[in-house]
C-alpha cells in the first residue's frame, strides 16, 4: 500500500528558509490576511511543526470536491492521485492544515487551489458546520482514522467545484467517480487510513449513495 | 400587522380548474418530473388542500436566499415584500409546499424561481440536511411558529443566489439586508409568526451574525 | 422479499371508528397535546389517509435506536423484526407519520414507545435538525427510497435508548447489531426500500462505522 | 469588563512540574487513554503551550450545558461564573483544549467534569458533528470571537446534563437561564468575546429561542 502525500511531512507545513528564531518575533498583526508573497504567513519550519505534532492535535480541513447538477445533487466526487514519500502512487482527498491566523474558509480555498488549481471555482460552504469531524491518531487502531505523523482533527466539508480542475504540485491527477457507479467501492478501497470512509460519509450526507 | 402571503390560501396550492374527481384518477406516473405545461402536477383544488390542512401536517420548504462573497461567507440576506390578503404589505421569506411526487430540490427550485425569477441562479444545497425544521401550528402559542391555515413542517435551507432577482407574482420587492448592519433587527421585527426567527437562525448557522 | 410493516396501510394511520364527517367538526383546540384516551387526536380513517396519500407528501419521522457507551459513542444499533401484510418477516427501523397538531418530538416519543415499549427510556434529540431527510416515492427508481403506499418525507434521527426495549404490537423482536461487527452488512441487506441505507447513514453520521 | 478564565493562561494547559525535555521523550503509546494519575497525558508546560499559541491554531471544545425536559427540549442553559486573572468575575461557558491523543469525547467529558463536577451526568453527543465551529483570533475585529491568548478553533456542542452540577476549581457558580425568559439577554450581554453568541446560537439550533 502506498504512503500517501497526506501522511508524509508536507512541504506546505514548514518553511525551510525561515528559522524558528525569526518566527518567534512575529506579532499577530503579521499574520493578518493579505500577507506578502512567498510562503503564506503561518508556515512553520520543520523543527517547529515536528515539535507541535508531538505536543498537541493539529487542526486540519478535509475536502471532498464534487460536481453537482443544476439541482444541486452530486453527480461526481473528486479524488487525487498522488506520489507518496516511498514513490508509490496513492489516492486521497484534499487535506491540509489550518495555519496560524488563517480562517477555515481561507484554509479551504488555499488547499483546494493548491490541489485543483486556480480555475476550479469552488463554492465554499455557507456554514462553518462540517458534515463530520475526523480524528486521526498516530497510534494504529484508536480509530479508523490513522496518521503516523500526528494527532489531527479534520473538519470535513463537501465543496462543489464548477471550473477546470488541474492537478498541481505533487498531485498527478484528479479522478472523478460516479457515486452510484461500480467504481466507487474500488476508489474507496484505494484510500487508506480512513480517507475512503470520509468520502463515503460525504456522499451519504449528500444523499448521493 | 399585515397578513402575509404565506398565511393566506396560496394560489399555488390549488388548481381551480381541476376538480377533485379528475384528480382522483391520476396515477403515480402522471406525477413524474417533467410534467406538461400549465399547473405543475401535484397541485390540489381548493377543497382538497383545505381538507388536507385540517387533517395532517403539510410538508414545506423555507428558503433564506443569500448573497455570498468569494469566500462563501454571507454578505446579504434576502427578504420578500408581499401584499397580504388584507391588502397590507408584509415581509417574509421564500416558502412553499412540497407537491406530491416532487423532490425537495424541485420544491426549492420551483419556489425560488416563483419568488425571485428565472435568473436568480440559486446554488441548491448539496445535502438534504436542513439547518433547522420549523413547526408551524394553527394554534397560537404552541410554538413561536404560527400559521392560521395549517400545521406545516418546514425544512429550512440557506441558498446562495448569484444572479438577478426580480420580484414575481404577488412579491412586490426583494430587499437585502446586511447580517451585521443596523437594519437586521428592523427586518426581523417586521417578519411575524416565526419567519424572523428563521432568518436569524439561518444567519447564526452561517456564522454571519 | 417480505412486505414490511411500514409499506402496508398502518393501523395507526386511521381510526376506523371515526368517520370523516365527525372529524371535520374538530377544531384545532381538540388536537392540543394531552388528548383523552383511545386513539390519539390526528388519526385519520382509512378513506382520508388513502386520499391524502394520493394527493400530497406525508410527513414522517424515522428513528435509528442506539445503545451508547458512557462516552456517548454508539455501541449497538437497533432494528425491528416485523410481520408484513403478506405474512413474511422483514427487518426495518422505527418509522411513523407525524399526526395533525403533533410536534416532531411527540411523534418521535409515540413511535418509539409503540415499537420499543414504555420502558425504553429514549433520549430525544436536543435539536430538530435531522441527520438526513429521506424522500420515499411510490414510483420505483425515483430515489433509493421506495414506498408503494405514498410519497413520504422522513425526518431521520438517531435516538439513544437507555432502558428495556420490548417488542410491541406487530413488532416480533428488537435485534441489535454492532456497527463494526460482521452482521451489520447482513442486517442492512435485509432492510429493503432504503431503510438499510438510512441505518448505514445514521452510523456514518455518528462516526460509528 | 472582567477577564474571563478562558482568556488567561489555563492551569490545565501546562504542567509546571514537567519540563519540555522530559516531555519530548514521550512516545505516542504514553498518551493512550487511561493514563496514570496526576496530570493527564498531553498537558504542556508553560513554555510549550505559549510557543504553540504563537505558531498554530489550538483545537478547543466549547460546551453549552443544558437541562432538557422529558421530550428532549431545552428548558435551561447553564453558564459559569468565574474569577478572571484580574480578580473580576465574569460569565462564560465550558471551554477547554483538546489534548494530544485525546478524543473529542474525552475532551468533552474531562472539561465538563472539571467545571460541573463528577456528578453532572452529561449525555455526550452521539455524533461528532458540532452545531457550529467558532474561530477565535488574537487580533480584535477579525471575527466576533476574540481570544488575546491564541488562535483557537472551537468545536461547539450542546450537552444535556441530568445530574448535580457543582462548581469546581476557579468556577464560582453554575447559573441556569430559561431560554425564553427575561434574563437570557442579560446573561448573553455578560459573556464577552463571542461566548454569548455561541450560547445564543446553541439555543437557536436547539429550537429553544
Model confidence over A129-146: pLDDT tens digits? 999 999 999 999 888 899
Distance from CA of D53 to the nearest CA of A (A): 9
pLDDT digits (tens, 9 = 90+) for B30-51: 443 333 445 667 889 999 999 9
Residue A23 has pLDDT above 90, yes or no: no
The string over D114-133, giving b where at least 16 C-beta atoms fall within 10 Å of a residue's C-beta and e elsewhere, is bbbbeebebbbbbbbbbbbb
Does the distance separating the beta carbons of A129 and B66 come in below 8 Å? no
Residue B12 has pLDDT above 90, yes or no: no
Contacts of D73 in chain C (CB under 8 A): 105, 124
Residue C75 has pLDDT above 80, yes or no: yes
- Over residues C178-184, mean pLDDT: 96
Measured between CA atoms, the residue of chain C closest to residue B137 is: C101
ipTM value > 0.90: no
User: CA A23 to CA B156: how far, in whole Å?
Assistant: 46
Contacts of C201 in chain D (CB under 8 A): none
Does the distance separating the beta carbons of A205 and C132 come in below 8 Å? yes
Residue A28 has pLDDT above 90, yes or no: no
The DSSP 8-state label assigned to residue B86 in this structure reads: T
User: CA A96 to CA A115: how far, in whole Å?
Assistant: 10
Helix axes D46-55, A46-55, angle to 10 degrees: 120
Does the distance separating the beta carbons of B197 and D132 come in below 8 Å? no
Point out the least confidently predicted range of A82-96, C5-19, C102-116. C5-19
Residues contacting A195, CB < 8 A, separation 6+: A4, A6, A62, A91, A92, A93, A95
In a mutagenesis test of the D interface, which of A56, A136, A142, A204 is the best target, namely the one with the most D β-carbons within 10 Å? Answer: A56
Angle at C9 between CA C3 and CA C12, to 5 degrees: 120
Furthest C-alpha separation in chain D: 54
Domains (range + CATH), chain C: 28-205 (3.90.79.10)
pLDDT for res C27: 43
pLDDT band of B23, cuts 50, 70, 90:
very low
pLDDT digits (tens, 9 = 90+) for A41-69: 788 999 999 999 999 999 999 999 999 99
Contacts of B200 in chain D (CB under 8 A): 204
pLDDT for res D36: 43
* Grid cell listed for B115: 419568488
3-state secondary structure of C187: helix
**How does pLDDT run along chain D (209 residues), one tens digit per residue?**
333 434 334 444 433 333 333 333 344 444 433 334 456 678 899 999 999 999 999 999 999 999 999 999 999 999 999 987 778 899 999 999 999 999 999 999 999 999 999 999 999 999 999 999 999 999 998 888 999 999 999 999 999 999 999 988 788 999 999 999 999 999 999 999 999 999 999 999 999 98
Rounded to the nearest angstrom, the gap between the alpha carbon of residue B14 and the centroid of all alpha carbons in its chain is: 16
Residue B110 has pLDDT above 60, yes or no: yes
pLDDT band of C88, cuts 50, 70, 90:
confident
* Mean pLDDT rounded to a whole number for chain A: 84
Neighbours of C43 (CB within 10 A): 22
Residue C99 has pLDDT above 50, yes or no: yes
> Of the candidates A97, A92, A85, A95, which has an alpha carbon nearest to the alpha carbon of residue A13?
A97
The secondary structure of A135-188 as a DSSP string is: EEBSSTTSSS-B-TT--EEEEEEEEEB-S-----TTEEEEEEE-TTSTHHHHHH
What torsion, rounded to 10 degrees, do the Cα atoms B9, B10, B14, B17 define? 100
Rounded to the nearest angstrom, the gap between the alpha carbon of residue A123 and the centroid of all alpha carbons in its chain is: 16
**Between D28, D133, D138, which is nearest A138 by CB?**
D28
- Over residues B167-191, mean pLDDT: 93
Residues contacting B35, CB < 8 A, separation 6+: B41
> Of the candidates B72, B165, B189, B161, which has an alpha carbon nearest to the alpha carbon of residue B117?
B165
Does the distance separating the beta carbons of D128 and A128 come in below 8 Å? no
pLDDT for res C170: 80
Q: Which helix (H) or strand (E) holds D54?
A: helix D46-55
**Between A133, A201, A207, which is nearest C204 by CB?**
A201
Measured between CA atoms, the residue of chain C closest to residue A196 is: C209
- Cβ contact A170:A74 at 8 Å: no
pLDDT for res A41: 75
Measured between CA atoms, the residue of chain A closest to residue B123 is: A72
User: CA C102 to CA D171: how far, in whole Å?
Assistant: 41
Residue A31 has phi, psi (to 5 degrees) of -100, 5
The DSSP 8-state label assigned to residue C193 in this structure reads: T
pLDDT band of A38, cuts 50, 70, 90:
low
The secondary structure of D101-168 as a DSSP string is: T--HHHHHHHHHHHHH-TT--B---SSS--SEEEEEBSSTTSSS-B-TT--EEEEEEEEEB-S-----
- Cβ contact A175:A123 at 8 Å: no
- Over residues B126-148, mean pLDDT: 94
Pairing label, strands B89-92, B94-97: unpaired
User: CA D193 to CA D183: how far, in whole Å?
Assistant: 19
**Between C66, C73, C205, which is nearest D129 by CB?**
C205
Q: Which helix (H) or strand (E) holds A52?
A: helix A46-55
User: CA A116 to CA A67: how far, in whole Å?
Assistant: 13
The secondary structure of A55-84 as a DSSP string is: HSPEEEEEEEEEEE-TTS-EEEEEEEEEE-
In a mutagenesis test of the B interface, which of A126, A158, A162 is the best target, namely the one with the most B β-carbons within 10 Å? Answer: A126
DSSP bridge partners of B136: B152
In a mutagenesis test of the A interface, which of B103, B107, B120, B127 is the best target, namely the one with the most A β-carbons within 10 Å? Answer: B127
Residue D66 has phi, psi (to 5 degrees) of -135, 155
Distance from CA of D126 to the nearest CA of C (A): 5
Could you tell me which residue, C206 or D41, shows the higher pLDDT? C206
pLDDT for res D39: 65
Within 13 Å, how many C-alpha atoms sit on residue D200's CB side?
23
Measured between CA atoms, the residue of chain B closest to residue A107 is: B71
DSSP bridge partners of A174: A80
The DSSP 8-state label assigned to residue B16 in this structure reads: T
Distance from CA of A206 to the nearest CA of B (A): 4
Distance from CA of C146 to the nearest CA of A (A): 14
The DSSP 8-state label assigned to residue B51 in this structure reads: H
Expressed in angstroms, the distance from the first to the final Cα of chain A is 26
> Of the candidates C207, B108, B100, which has an alpha carbon nearest to the alpha carbon of residue A205?
C207
Distance from CA of B164 to the nearest CA of C (A): 30
Helix, strand, coil: what percent of chain B each, to 5? 25, 25, 45
Positions of E strands within chain C: 58-68, 74-83, 89-92, 94-97, 132-136, 152-160, 171-177
Does the distance separating the beta carbons of D158 and C106 come in below 8 Å? no
**Between B132, B200, B205, which is nearest D207 by CB?**
B132
> Of the candidates A120, A143, A96, A131, which has an alpha carbon nearest to the alpha carbon of residue A208?
A131
pLDDT band of C143, cuts 50, 70, 90:
confident
pLDDT for res D38: 56
Point out the least confidently predicted range of A162-166, B175-179, C26-30, C63-67. C26-30
Could you tell me which residue, A38 or B7, shows the higher pLDDT? A38
Measured between CA atoms, the residue of chain C closest to residue A204 is: C201
Amino acid at each position: 500500500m502506498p504512503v500517501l502525500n497526506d501522511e508524509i511531512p508536507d512541504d506546505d507545513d514548514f518553511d525551510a528558509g525561515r528559522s524558528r528564531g525569526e518566527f518567534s518575533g512575529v506579532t499577530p498583526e503579521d499574520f493578518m490576511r493579505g500577507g506578502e508573497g512567498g510562503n503564506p504567513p503561518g508556515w512553520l519550519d520543520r523543527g517547529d511543526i515536528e515539535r507541535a505534532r508531538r505536543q498537541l492535535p493539529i487542526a486540519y480541513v478535509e475536502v471532498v470536491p464534487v460536481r453537482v447538477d443544476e439541482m444541486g445533487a452530486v453527480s461526481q466526487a473528486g479524488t487525487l492521485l498522488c506520489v507518496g514519500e516511498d514513490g508509490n502512487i496513492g489516492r486521497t482527498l484534499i487535506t491540509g492544515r489550518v495555519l496560524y491566523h488563517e480562517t477555515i474558509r481561507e484554509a479551504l480555498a488555499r488547499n483546494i487551489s493548491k490541489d485543483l488549481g486556480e480555475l476550479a471555482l469552488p463554492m465554499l460552504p455557507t456554514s462553518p458546520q462540517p458534515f463530520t469531524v475526523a480524528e486521526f491518531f498516530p497510534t494504529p487502531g484508536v480509530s479508523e482514522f490513522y496518521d503516523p505523523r500526528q494527532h489531527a482533527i479534520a473538519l470535513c466539508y463537501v465543496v462543489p467545484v464548477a471550473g477546470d480542475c488541474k492537478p498541481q504540485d505533487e498531485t498527478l491527477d484528479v479522478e472523478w467517480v460516479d457515486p452510484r457507479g461500480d467504481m466507487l467501492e474500488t476508489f474507496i478501497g484505494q484510500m487508506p487510513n480512513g480517507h475512503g470512509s470520509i468520502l463515503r460519509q460525504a456522499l451519504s450526507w449528500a444523499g448521493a449513495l
